[in-house]
Structure formats: structure tokens, C-alpha cells
Amino acid sequence: MTTITPEFEKTELGMIQIAPEVVEIIAGLATVEVSGVAGMSGGLAGGIAEFLGRKNLTKGVKVEVGEKEAAVDVSIIIDYGQKIPEVAAGIQQNVQHAIFSMTGLQVVEVNVHIHGVHFKHAEKEEDEQSVQRLK
């Protein structure tokens, strides 16, 4: 495991180290906060995106960290009907702000990968059919 050890993190009392996994969690949380994001995606397996929901935030996040900069890739599933460019821009801004404000790292890029579309109405219909079967 590599850790971030920028010069400004060395103090007279010692050194502060931030694990890359921490940056991944920050990026994941910042991503799912954006309206229109249905959840994180683990990637394409057999042409089907693995829908991970909001609980497993680091699965759809890859981070490369240097001493003072970070690059982030997030893979998401978007809610049907949302404007993809607007949601993606919101993710980029939110991730950049969250990482900088919590770690001091400059985020040089946030790449957003859309791996699927979530249909809310299809989920409601399935739930209604399940309820009907139980009656």
C-alpha cells in the first residue's frame, strides 16, 4: 500500500499520511451525492454493468495519487431521464471539491464513465407485481 506524503504534511510533531483508499472513499461519497446518480458500477462484465448501489463506494472508483495531485476515474449508473453531461459535470465538480477540501490534493482530472441506466419505473412495476403475487 502506498501512501501520500506531500512535503506540506510533514510537521514538527511528525508526518501525516493519507492512504489512497481514503481518497477513493471520498470520491465515491462525493459521486453518489450528485442528483441523477443511481449508484456505482464495478465495470462491464460480459457486457452487463454490475450495479453496486450506494453502499460499496470504492468499487466504482479508481484513484492515482502523487505527492500533491490526484486523478480519479468513477464508473456510475445513471438514473433514466437525467442529462448525462450535466450529471457528469456535477460529479467532476463535487469530487474535485471534496478531495481538495479534505486532503489538500489538487485533482487534475475526474473521468466519469457511464456504465448503465437505471429505470425507476421498471423497479416500481416489479415491486407491484411482487405485492400482487403475495396477495
pTM listed for this prediction = 0.76
Q: In sequence order, what DSSP letters do the residues of 16-42 get, joined into one string? A: --B-HHHHHHHHHHHHHTSTTEEEEEE
- pLDDT-based confidence at 120, cuts 50/70/90? confident
d(CA 112, CA 41): 11
DSSP state of 122: H
The identity of residue 12, as a single letter, is: E
Return the number of other C-beta atoms located less than 10 Å from residue 27's C-beta: 27
Q: Which CATH superfamily is domain 7-134 in?
A: Cation efflux protein, cytoplasmic domain (3.30.70.1350)
The domain ranges of the chain are: 7-134
Q: Map grid coordinates 446518480 to a residue.
A: 37
- Is residue 62 within 8 Å of residue 72, measured between CB atoms? yes
Q: Each residue of 45-104: pLDDT tens digit? A: 533 445 554 456 688 999 999 888 999 999 999 999 999 999 999 999 999 999 999 999
Q: What radius of gyration do the chain's Cα atoms show?
A: 18
At a CB cut-off of 8 Å and minimum separation 6, what does 106 contact?
68, 69, 70, 100
- Is residue 131 within 8 Å of residue 101, measured between CB atoms? no
- Is residue 67 within 8 Å of residue 6, measured between CB atoms? yes
Q: Each residue of 2-59: pLDDT tens digit? A: 555 444 567 788 888 888 999 999 999 999 999 999 999 876 553 344 555 445 668 8
